[in-house]
Amino acid sequence: MKSIGVIGAGSWGTSLANLLAKKGHDVVLWAYEGDLVERMRSTHINDLYLPDVKLSGNLTFSNNLPEVAGRQCLLLVPPSQIMRHLLSQVVDYIRNDAVIISASKGIENDTLLPMSDVLKRLLPASLYQRSAYLSGPTFAKEVALGQPSAVVVAAQDRGIAEQVQDIFNTDYFRVYTNNDVVGIELGGALKNVIALAAGICDGLGYGYNTRAALITRGLAEMKRIGIAMGAKGETFAGLAGMGDLVLTCTGDLSRNRSVGCELGKGRKLTEILADMTMVAEGVKTTLSSYQLAVKLGVEVPIIDQMYAILYQDKDPRAAVVELMQRELKSEYI
């Protein structure tokens, strides 16, 4: 049994904390909202982010960051754009022998860094070497309900990856290891941008042909950025690449796909986001991935069009026309 602190009580953080508590670990879940902490203590339900799931009686709750950070394992699951802010508040409380796990999926807007590089800049070198990164095709609600799922954990240190694999693996949550930290992170982040595009296609009334083409060509763009960042191309054929991409582009529980669908129906982004409680990471990741591709000199036509739709108010139908009328070329260029 491990003592585990979980920072971030959104649907994914809550689901992972619940899984770990059900497995028998001593888990405390931190939430920013003090009133939510009190309600979870009383009802063992996260009524804001995972309302349909009764949480394990072994799971405890806190609004005290130092208390949560000083445990054997620290699981970080905040929205990616506030990872730096939260980690900077707890770094002095993290044990020297702790294992640190990031399960956030995104690219920081201001720096264009994946979460592993954010951690690298904030943690002592010895602690950074004990970090790992969890990703894969998982909807929080389905994991919380115990439906069979598979994920991948990446770490520079194989021993750390195997420790995390053992901590999380259950009879319904299978964990694989990988040493491609950059590839795992970029797969989990960039797929959200393509999922927004998939939702737009659904909202415009396009069918399965369109969706299949978008997923396949979107994967090609993800892989291009990944290789330019030093990732392994084969990672994008795995759970954190193709697996997560297919799930997020097709599943009704996908927040990013849902936002895209509303955009395709003609609603404005500000209006859509105002109606949401949870974060659709793809909106901000579109900005950072577009800027990252420009910086790297990588061709990403779908991401370019998503940037124009979200940040330049481009008409989605015009974006589709431009994509279809691009210069003809070989599939593998």
Active-site residue set: 191
Dist CA 207 CA 203 (whole Å): 10
Dist CA 226 CA 220 (whole Å): 10
Q: How many CB atoms lie within 10 A of CB 291?
A: 14
Distance in Å from the first CA to the final CA of the chain: 50
Dist CA 225 CA 302 (whole Å): 13
8 Å CB contact between 300 and 193: no
Phi, psi of 131 (to 5 degrees): -100, 155
Maximum Cα–Cα distance for the chain, whole Å?
Answer: 61
Dist CA 242 CA 246 (whole Å): 6
3-state helix, strand, coil in the chain (%, to 5): 55, 15, 30
Dist CA 25 CA 298 (whole Å): 44
Q: Is 159 exposed, middle or buried (0-12, 13-18, 19+ CB in 10 A)?
A: exposed
8 Å CB contact between 23 and 170: yes
What SS3 string covers 145-188? Answer: CCCCEEEEEECCCHHHHHHHHHHHCCCCEEEEEECCHHHHHHHH
Dist CA 277 CA 258 (whole Å): 13
